A and B are shown apart, each in its own frame.
Chain A
Amino acid sequence: GAVVSQHPSWVICKSGTSVKIECRSLDFQATTMFWYRQFPKQSLMLMATSNEGSKATYEQGVEKDKFLINHASLTLSTLTVTSAHPEDSSFYICSARVDSARYGYTFGSGTRLTVV
Chain B
Amino acid sequence: AQSVTQLDSQVPVFEEAPVELRCNYSSSVSVYLFWYVQYPNQGLQLLLKYLSGSTLVKGINGFEAEFNKSQTSFHLRKPSVHISDTAEYFCAVSEATGGGADGLTFGKGTHLIIQP
Contact = CB atoms under 8 A, between A and B. Distances in A.
**Size category of the binding interface on chain A:** 20 to 34
B interface, over-half SS: loop
Interface string B39-64: 00111111001010000000000000
B100 A32 contact: yes
Given A93-B44, A112-B41, A34 B103 contact: yes
Interface stretch (A12-20, A41-49, A70-78, A80-88): A41-49
B63 to A, nearest CB: 14
B116 to A, nearest CB: 23
Given A43-B106, A43-B107, A44-B106, A101 B99 contact: yes
A107 B43 contact: yes
B106 A49 contact: no
Nearest to B34: A104
Interface string A62-76: 000000000000000
Contacts of A36: 103
A104 B106 CA distance: 14
B101 A110 contact: no
Nearest to A98: B100
Interface of A: 4, 6, 32, 34, 36, 42-46, 49, 91, 93, 95, 97, 100-102, 104-110, 112
